Amino acid sequence: MTDIKTRYRYGKPDGDGRTPVYVDGADEPAGHVWKRGRGSLPWWSEGCGDSGAVYYHSSKRAAAEQLVRMVDVRAQVDRIITGRRARHTQAPTGWRFASWTEIEREGYRQVRPVHRAPYVYGDQGERYPDTFADQPVTLTRVTTLHNGCVVVSGTEPGDRPPYVLLMDPAHVALGALVREQEPRYIAPGECMGCEQDGPLYQAGTRLGCATCTAADLGVSAADLPAAVDDDGAVWWSVGDTVRRKGEIPDEDAEPETGRVTEIDTFIAERTRRIAVDFGDRWPVRWQPAGLAPVS
C-alpha cells in the first residue's frame, strides 16, 4: 500500500500564506493549506472546487493528508458515476436496449421495462437503469402525457394484476429491454419456410410467417411485434402543432390548428390516438390520418 506521505508535495506559498498541495504528481493543486492562530487546530485545509469548505487540523501534515483523502473520495465517486452511466448500454445477455419510440413504432409486444431508475449522482435529473422487470411484460398501451411522462400498461406472466408503470422523462430516456433477436414485422408475402402467404417477420436474415418465426424463436405467435398501421403519414409527438385536414372555417381564415397534448399507442390494435388542444375547453382525440403538419 502506498504511503500517504509520498503521494503529495507542497508548492510555493502565495501572498496570503496559502500553500498549494499537489497529489499524485498532478499539475494542478488538490487544494491549499495554511496556518491560522495558535490553538490545538491551527492548520486549515481547503480543497479546490469545494465552495469554501474548510477543515481544521493539528499539523500541516494532517492538513495535507486530508486533501489526499479528498482526492481519493472524488476518484471513487467518479468511478461510481462512470459505472452507472455505462449501464445505459450494458444490457443483460440476450437483450438489448430500445427506445420507447422504437418500441411503439415496431409494436414490440414483450419488453422488460426499467423498474428502478435512481439518479446517477445527487438529484441532477440524470438517471441510470438499476433493475428491470424479471420477466417480459406484454404491452397493451403506451401513453405519452403532456409533461413528457409516459405510462405503460400491460400484463405479466402468471396470475397477476394488470401491469402499470409511470415514468418521468429521464426514466423514459432509458428505454427498455427487448430481445436481441426480436423480429420486425415487414409486410405481407410468402413465407420462406412453409411457403404460405401472410404477414412476414424478419429475424436476422430470415423472413418467415408468424407461425414459423415464433417456432424458430421459441415464443408464441401472439407475442410477435405488430407495427402501428393507422395510415398516418407523420409520427406525431407531444408538443407538435397540427391542423385538422380539410377544416377551413371560411375562405379568409387559416385552417384551424392545435397542439398535441397526449398520445396513446395501442400495441395490440396497431393504432394511435392523438389528443389535440384546439383552444376548446377539452382536448379532442383524433386518428393520426385526420391531422396534418402546419407548414
**Model's pTM, two decimal places?**
0.79
The 10 Å CB-count burial string (b at 16+, else e) for 235-252 is ebebebebbbeeeeeeee
Count the alpha carbons within 13 Å of 124 in the hemisphere toward its beta carbon: 6
Cβ-Cβ contacts under 8 Å for 27 (sequence gap 6 or more): none
Question: What is the per-residue pLDDT for 75?
Answer: 94
Task: Note the pLDDT tens digit of each residue in 236-266.
Answer: 999 999 988 865 555 555 558 889 999 999 9
Question: What is the per-residue pLDDT for 140?
Answer: 94
- Please compute the mean of the pLDDT values over residues 166-189 and round it to a whole number: 91
Three-class DSSP category at 227: coil
Asked if the model's pLDDT at residue 115 lies above 90, the reply is: yes
The more confidently predicted of residues 220 and 233 is 220
Question: What is the per-residue pLDDT for 123?
Answer: 77
- Please compute the mean of the pLDDT values over residues 26-36 and round it to a whole number: 93
Cβ-Cβ contacts under 8 Å for 207 (sequence gap 6 or more): 186, 189, 191, 192, 200, 201
Asked if the model's pLDDT at residue 232 lies above 80, the reply is: no
Question: What is the per-residue pLDDT for 250?
Answer: 53
Report residue 93's pLDDT band, with 50, 70 and 90 as the boundaries. Answer: very high
Report residue 43's pLDDT band, with 50, 70 and 90 as the boundaries. Answer: very high
Asked if the model's pLDDT at residue 230 lies above 70, the reply is: no
The more confidently predicted of residues 283 and 56 is 56
Asked if the model's pLDDT at residue 184 lies above 90, the reply is: no
Percent of the chain with pLDDT strictly greater than 90: 55
Sort strands 43-47 and 31-35 into parallel, antiparallel or unpaired: antiparallel
> Which of 12-16, 108-112, 187-191, 271-275 is least confident?
187-191
Structure-block grid coordinates of residue 55 = 477543515
- Please compute the mean of the pLDDT values over residues 269-274 and round it to a whole number: 90
